[in-house]
Structure 1
């Protein structure tokens, strides 16, 4: 692996990325924190009330207290996340708990001085109860975050194993068809067969990157171009390629070997069975929060588009997309006026500019 590839591969051992406490600098995390704390306040206000369903005065005061302590604690923990991530789970949990308790203690003193200038024994007992409640809630939240992080890591490991298995099932099929292309040229056009071997070596050098979960669309299109160069040697004038991919999609994130199998299927189940060949159209555009990629080919009179190999490739791609993007990614097939179309919808997501290699 080259130095550039090492830098491009995301580091899985980054302690900040693996830290079990969510990033409280993000708006979504803060919003969920406020909503959760407000629901807890509502529950306490309902339980505190004796004659009505809810004690609104108690709810308002407790809500103000809890929200301020939650926000200030999050504001303190947020910049310390890098330091906390380098500590053990026990030490990080202890430090976070101490921060929350200190914050609650300071706000309790302030609130008690505002409401009761001379707190006395009852006032200190109320502060002690707040500290005990804050301790229990903080430990429960940290335990939840830890279990959630463990579940996410297990899910990530299972997904990586699944992607590796799916990736391994693509390469033999890809190699078999590519070698058939070269074999067909050896006897009749040995010079072109030699060039095809060189093209294939470049293609596999780029495609056999199993450690990359996502690459740029420009890289994936490079694989398609190399493959089409091989097929162009075999099919000659029977193959015409129409490229209609918007330049702004160059850095769109896509799993490796996603478009290339679709192009391969279009050749073997669309262009090749037609006596006069046909036009393969590859289109890409952005619409809203999604990127759309289309692969179109003529549909032969005999319905070979439902070939088992075609179905297996589509199912493989769909499984990888679901594992990486969830329900936001869609792969569908359609045919109209003897044109077969496979449409791929991906959530708009870019890979870092230093990560991808732009194809010539």
Structure 2
């Protein structure tokens, strides 16, 4: 995708995304099955006709999908109309080549031309579907962003932070000033348009600023273990993904306990995936709070992961006797510069 494109711009699908590939495979195979049934002269001949059609399809589809995957970074730099044209040219060439490999010998121009027309028509139909789906998802992402905004501005956090600043102004003015700066930076990020992906190092810094504010109020009770030695700072993640998790960890695991265990944050890359773990202690049974913020935040993050990365992202939770853990896995996508990037729509 164009790193500076708006989420409301027309974008080609990410041809390396598993959700996109699955949709392409399902669509073309269903279309082929229906086409084979419609063209049957005798019902008894459908296995042979379907087998011949599938053989042609695989030799045309697989090269086209491979070429699109390899050319995906180049296609992402084109505007939408040129990207559509380039996609059609690439799939026509790759599919025609596969058709020629399947039926070597003297070149049948009419057969190859017919094959190219079918391939281009199928590509345009799929691109139109992905385009409509992107348009349908954009309002949902705006709604998810609004829900994230509402969930993040908790009155108790703002009031507690301001009270902590008031207690510091007379005796530790420099520290009070730093807390106000962290609070301003935090709310500046929360209030801006967060519909684009963000660099992971920026999200970690935001979470640390939030924890600095809470440490003023909670003191030595709040302990955080960061394990980020293998963290790819340039990884693309949804904004406001990590800070809500550590906020929930503080609210549910630290505040109710007198001597809580540390919050553990693990961020690392394994192969082509980014893993993020947030683990917090569970409070004593008599201190459990009736608060839906944890579920709201997790559902909001899960929805934004789905909208940005489709089937390639997962969010799982685990509750044991003494801890609660959230584990997020997203495909590793690089944001080379410190600017936010457009979402890698799954299509």
TM-score (norm 1): 0.64
Q: After the TM superposition, which residues 92-171 of structure 1 pair with which residues of structure 2 at under 5 Å, given as runs?
A: 114=106, 137=118, 140-141=121-122, 144-145=125-126, 147-171=128-152
Would the alpha carbon gap of residues 220 and 306 (structure 1) be closer, same or farther in structure 2, given more than 3 Å must change?
Answer: farther
- Determine if contact 1:48/1:55 at 8 Å carries over to the other structure: no
* Bigger Cα Rg: 1
- Determine if contact 1:8/1:354 at 8 Å carries over to the other structure: no
| Secondary structure, aligned partner of 1:285 | strand
Would the alpha carbon gap of residues 286 and 187 (structure 1) be closer, same or farther in structure 2, given more than 3 Å must change?
Answer: closer
* Cα distance in 2 for residues equivalent to 1:279 and 1:265: 14
Would the alpha carbon gap of residues 318 and 304 (structure 1) be closer, same or farther in structure 2, given more than 3 Å must change?
Answer: farther
Q: After the TM superposition, which residues 266-305 of structure 1 pair with which residues of structure 2 at under 5 Å, given as runs?
A: 266-301=249-284, 302-304=286-288
Which of 307, 317, 321 is the equivalent residue of 2:301? 317
User: Which residue in 1 is equivalent to 2:198?
Assistant: 215
Structure with the greater relative contact order (CA < 8 A, sep ≥ 6): 1 or 2? 2
Which of 149, 153, 156 is the equivalent residue of 1:172? 153
Give the unaligned 5+ runs of structure 1. Answer: 1-6, 116-125
Shift of the alpha carbon at 1:144? 2.0
Q: Deviations over 1:306-359 (max 9, x none)?
A: 6322232223223322333334311313123x2x222222223223121359xx
User: Which residue in 2 is equivalent to 1:122?
Assistant: none
Mean alpha-carbon deviation: is it higher for 291-300 or for 262-271? 291-300
User: Which residue in 2 is equivalent to 1:123?
Assistant: none
* Cα distance in 2 for residues equivalent to 1:198 and 1:84: 40
- Determine if contact 1:282/1:296 at 8 Å carries over to the other structure: yes
- Determine if contact 2:197/2:236 at 8 Å carries over to the other structure: yes
- Determine if contact 1:333/1:343 at 8 Å carries over to the other structure: yes
* Cα distance in 2 for residues equivalent to 1:319 and 1:136: 38
TM-score (norm 2): 0.66
User: Which residue in 1 is equivalent to 2:320?
Assistant: 335
User: Which residue in 2 is equivalent to 1:10?
Assistant: 5
* Cα distance in 2 for residues equivalent to 1:12 and 1:310: 27
Would the alpha carbon gap of residues 210 and 50 (structure 1) be closer, same or farther in structure 2, given more than 3 Å must change?
Answer: closer
Shift of the alpha carbon at 1:242? 1.3
* Cα distance in 1 for residues equivalent to 2:139 and 2:250: 34
* Cα distance in 2 for residues equivalent to 1:166 and 1:291: 25
Matched, 1:326 2:321: no
Shift of the alpha carbon at 1:131? 9.2
Would the alpha carbon gap of residues 290 and 207 (structure 1) be closer, same or farther in structure 2, given more than 3 Å must change?
Answer: same
User: Which residue in 1 is equivalent to 2:343?
Assistant: none
Q: Deviations over 1:154-182 (max 9, x none)?
A: 23323333333223323422x65134222
Give the unaligned 5+ runs of structure 2. Answer: 341-347
Mean alpha-carbon deviation: is it higher for 280-289 or for 139-148? 139-148
- Determine if contact 1:216/1:350 at 8 Å carries over to the other structure: no
